Structure 1
Amino acid sequence: MAATPGYERLARPVGLLDGHRPNLVRYVLSDPRARAAYPDRDRVADQQVAWLKGEVRRNDPHAAEPAADLTVLAGPAFVDRMAAPAGPTDRTGVDRMLHPEAGALRLAYEILDLPDADEQRLVVLLPADDATAAALDRLAGRRPGALRAV
């Protein structure tokens, strides 16, 4: 996983980037801090497992290892979701997050497929409302309304 400095400021304080190989599905299913960070943790977990399930079905070699690890690490919280009927995965939406420094955030996401042989994805997060935009500006030490990314 690669991340921008802005994402690191967002994710590191909640523990999402802890460990050798950070992984959102592992964090959401096995880290107790995820319940505090994601008020809709069960929905986020369902969504993340659905993405992983799709990768496992496509025989993605990078998905098999995390799936095997989560079977042991998260147990029924993961296994039951993997066994549930597959539905469509959301490519856009809004996730709520409670950040220890920035407070309540609403983050709009969009998942973009990259045109390469590795089938990588780019996940774009943007503030979903003015309050979140202002909180993220404070978190980044940025002047409100400044250019965020190019």
Structure 2
Amino acid sequence: MGTPLGNFIRAKRDSIEPESLGLQTPGRRRSPGLRRLDLATRAGISVEYLARIEQGRDRNPSPTVINSIADALCLNPSERNHLRYLAKIAGDACSVQIRPVPPPRRVRPSVLQTLCLLDSGVAVVTNRLGDILAHTTGYQSITSGTGLLDDAEPNLNRYLFTDPRARTFFADWDDIADEQAFDLWQAPSLENLEWLTSELIPIAGPEFTNRLRRHVVPHRGVLRLNHPEGHQLRLLRETLELPMDAQQLIIFLPECDQTAQAIDQLQRQPHGRLRSIS
């Protein structure tokens, strides 16, 4: 059985054209991408050792080995950070027994006060598992009629992968799905990640599990939304980390005048006051 670390290395290896690294590929190849032998040679490790890492039989490669693999795969900075993170949690999984527990949902009063100052705008407090913990009326206005906030404890990942309306609401659903699956690997603890995946995997199916295993490092661009009332919104996202709480305050800014006017129209409709979900 593999590990997230091994899955990521294999996925990157399979995605590389040998010719791009100046390697010769004589004859027909049985599988695409970089051979295990080629990667091991470039990283300066044995093929057997690389196989153990990819197959999850060695979960504690040294930082030197991880950096050598990153160099051999020509990873960019974001991919390198992700590789190091996966190596860390692979080692943690060996030393602790994971006991799934639900993540905390409380938002500190000072964070809620900050959100109140932003109530005329579009902002939300979430954790890395996708739980929507508190939001402004502006956020409620741009998601009204989509079903995202219908649950008593709304979760963006659950909505994204199980509610058919999400594929219409998010104009670039595939990109957002990749983003959310990737962010789950940055969950505050192994226990919390296991809690969500044990709940979500049975109902989300392969659309979720395949993305979770591919480890696609996202290129976060403009967020495009199709509001049920016909508005097409283009939003920029600014994320403020709340490390004390393992939460995030995300502020959505209109990317164009048309979006700003649409948000203004939506906010004039009654949606209630700032809501804290906890």
- TM-score tier by shorter-chain length is 0.7 to 0.9
2:141–2:263: 8 Å Cα contact kept in structure 1?
A: no
Q: What does residue 42 of structure 2 align with? A: none
**Which letter does structure 2 place at the counterpart of 1:3?**
H
Tell me if 1:69 matches 2:69. Answer: no
Q: 1:122 aligns with which of 249, 270, 276?
A: 249
**Which letter does structure 1 place at the counterpart of 2:221?**
G
Q: How does 1:126-137 map to 2 (within 5 A)?
A: 126-137=253-264
1:108–1:125: 8 Å Cα contact kept in structure 2?
A: yes
1:102–1:139: 8 Å Cα contact kept in structure 2?
A: no
Q: How does 1:135-146 map to 2 (within 5 A)?
A: 135-141=262-268
Gaps of 5+ in 2: 1-132, 270-278
Q: 1:81 aligns with which of 211, 222, 240?
A: 211
Q: What does residue 52 of structure 1 align with? A: 184
Q: What does residue 43 of structure 1 align with? A: 175
Residue 79 of structure 1, CA deviation: 0.7
Identity of aligned residues (%): 39
SS in 2 for 1:10: helix
Task: Provide the TM-score with structure 2 as the length reference.
Answer: 0.46
Task: Provide the TM-score with structure 1 as the length reference.
Answer: 0.82
1:102–1:138: 8 Å Cα contact kept in structure 2?
A: no
1:13–1:100: 8 Å Cα contact kept in structure 2?
A: yes
Q: Deviation above 4 Å: which 4+ runs of structure 1? A: none
Residue 72 of structure 1, CA deviation: 0.7
Distance 2:195 2:145 in 1: 26
Q: How does 1:19-34 map to 2 (within 5 A)?
A: 19-34=151-166
Gaps of 5+ in 1: 143-150
1:30–1:74: 8 Å Cα contact kept in structure 2?
A: yes
SS in 1 for 2:150: coil
Distance 1:38 1:79 in 2: 20
2:166–2:173: 8 Å Cα contact kept in structure 1?
A: yes
Residue 45 of structure 1, CA deviation: 0.6
